[in-house]
Structure 1
């Protein structure tokens, strides 16, 4: 049990370890800078220019080497920038498998239903649009943590309006204080992440209005959140709405329709269970 919990939280441990190393290097560099500053104050005028030049060159070299080492040898740090550490916190919370499936395109044209979605092995869960707009495959999302399926398979919508709807039946299991992400769990114990925009955690909840509560049951098509697309775009954030299936160990495949324009009343694909 302990090993399982540790494996889920390992990305966070790696991140914290990285930051400790960064802090140690910064403390060393700060000490060096103070020593250099003291030398500048006590130096003769003839040495002042050379010491200033040396300090500038040292700072530039330190920055370049440090940046290269982090990006070259620590992919976890490179990947967990801005709200990506939050995403991997979600991964640890929900218990994500690293296995990812490649979605296949399929025209099914299924009509929306509000029946119970609990299914058996080999059966399918219909998926409905997150919002009105254009359908995108997960590989098209402009963020590698999604396009490379680090968290799991899914799809995205480039919204034409800001109302965000639940694509499945389930229960709200996670509401972020910043309102930009919602966790849903269905009756098959499959966890889903609805993430609204890219790097929108920086907005601290501004531009979002939430219409659901923790532990509330929702049906496909229910309104979850309303995004102020103009506000989000004005702050130079991508407005794509992303849907991720987190419980990859329970899923055989995720099939997405070919039609790039979506209607809220029709299925856009399905999840096939193992």
Structure 2
């Protein structure tokens, strides 16, 4: 079953943080989409910057005005302020609501906003601004998937525990960047320029991820190395120091926080 094609939608954002900026940039940076976008005035500087950059972006006078002018509403406020900002607003029954608040369940959001046509939880990431990377979605609503498909690879699931697991995996983003940074610094300390080390390291890891996704069999790729070679040497060294398990162990407390 294919969802309806969604073009020229009115999309409102309650909250104008980093992720809102990434999504708006992703929607507006090409010439293939003609959505009308309304931004919350809360972060006036960022909202004004986006409106100045893209002609189809308008800063509303209030959060309620965002809702009044929009068919789709994206809830993108920080969790600790979510209820105070959202509950006083009046939502329409025909609103299609996308929740980005990480540690709030849909049942809780529904108690704030009442009955709406659509209510889903979505996990976009900053690189949606460049229209790359995954966007997790629960439940797997086809119209929502179609709307956001130009901004990344939609991973739709229909179980709440699945979206929680996907959300937890995103917690490794800063750790991954830190790993790259440590490798880059090592390269610089061994005769490379910072530019050379950065370009090679990031290109190398990007290619590894691309190959892993293309191949699809990670367990085979792990074992596919020359006996006694450099890869085997490094792998055994890291395994011997329990170098991989801390990454997995770090996910457990994050998961507990999400499910609390």
For the criterion TM > 0.5, the same-fold answer is no
Q: TM-score, normalised by structure 2?
A: 0.26
Higher fraction of helix: 2
Compare relative contact order (CA 8 Å, sep 6+) and give the higher one, 1 or 2.
1
Higher fraction of strand: 1
Q: TM-score, normalised by structure 1?
A: 0.25
Larger Rg: 1
